[in-house]
Amino acid sequence: MSLRWDQGRGTIEAMLGSGALEQVPASREHADLLLAHARQHLASARVIAATDPEGGYAMVYDAARKALSAVLANQGLRTTSLRGHHQAAYDAVLTQLDPPMGRDLRPFLRLKQARGSAEYPKRDELPLAPDDVLEDCVKAGRIVDICTKVLDAMPVFVPGS
């Protein structure tokens, strides 16, 4: 008997239909690898925060992004290269987990915005500081923890089942 995860099903099917997501072979191994990379990125970001806050922040953001991608990989889904694929990963995981865990995933949007601002700063915008990296490591760490915890509960996605 296979498990069925109904929360967010309509959104996931719509994302598949629009090409924002595609089906791939489900892989717990790949999901675990992405989560290991995410944890390593957070550890590395803490080490370089004082000397390279922009590089550290990129690692913080990538940690959160890879954690979201791990959930999808475990389900046999991945984002496509269409515009906004990082946003698509967030949207796909959020629709399946909110409620109850959506509030703890929402900092991803701020991480994404701050990372973009580091590359394309607006006038009068302060550069990233070491404290920004360290504070957001905690938020990204929560996202990694949530994504790790839900892997066993979220089965392979089968459209229309």
**pLDDT tens, position by position, 13-28:** 999 999 999 999 999 9
Domain count, the chain: 1
CATH code, domain carrying 139: 1.20.120.330
- Structural domain containing residue 31: 27-150
Whether 83 is covered by a domain: the verdict is yes
| Tens digits of residue pLDDT in 50-59 | 999 999 999 9
Is pLDDT of 161 > 80? no
Whether 85 is covered by a domain: the verdict is yes
Is pLDDT of 69 > 50? yes
> What's the angle, vertex CA 112, arms to CA 23 and CA 99, rounded to 5?
65
- 107-119 and 85-97 helices, crossing angle to 10°: 170
Whether 6 is covered by a domain: the verdict is no
Most confidently modeled range among 3-7, 104-108, 125-129? 104-108
Whether 10 is covered by a domain: the verdict is no
Whether 13 is covered by a domain: the verdict is no
Whether 51 is covered by a domain: the verdict is yes
- The reported pTM is 0.93
* pLDDT at residue 28, rounded to an integer: 97
Q: Chain-centre distance of CA 157, in angstroms?
A: 18
Is pLDDT of 160 > 80? no
Is pLDDT of 143 > 80? yes
Using CA atoms, how far residue 69 sits from 35, 62, 75, in Å, is: 9, 10, 10
Please, what is the average pLDDT of the chain?
92
Whether 137 is covered by a domain: the verdict is yes
The alpha helices in 49-105, defined as continuous H runs, are 53-75, 85-97, 102-105
Whether 14 is covered by a domain: the verdict is no
pLDDT band at 154 (very low <50, low <70, confident <90, very high): confident
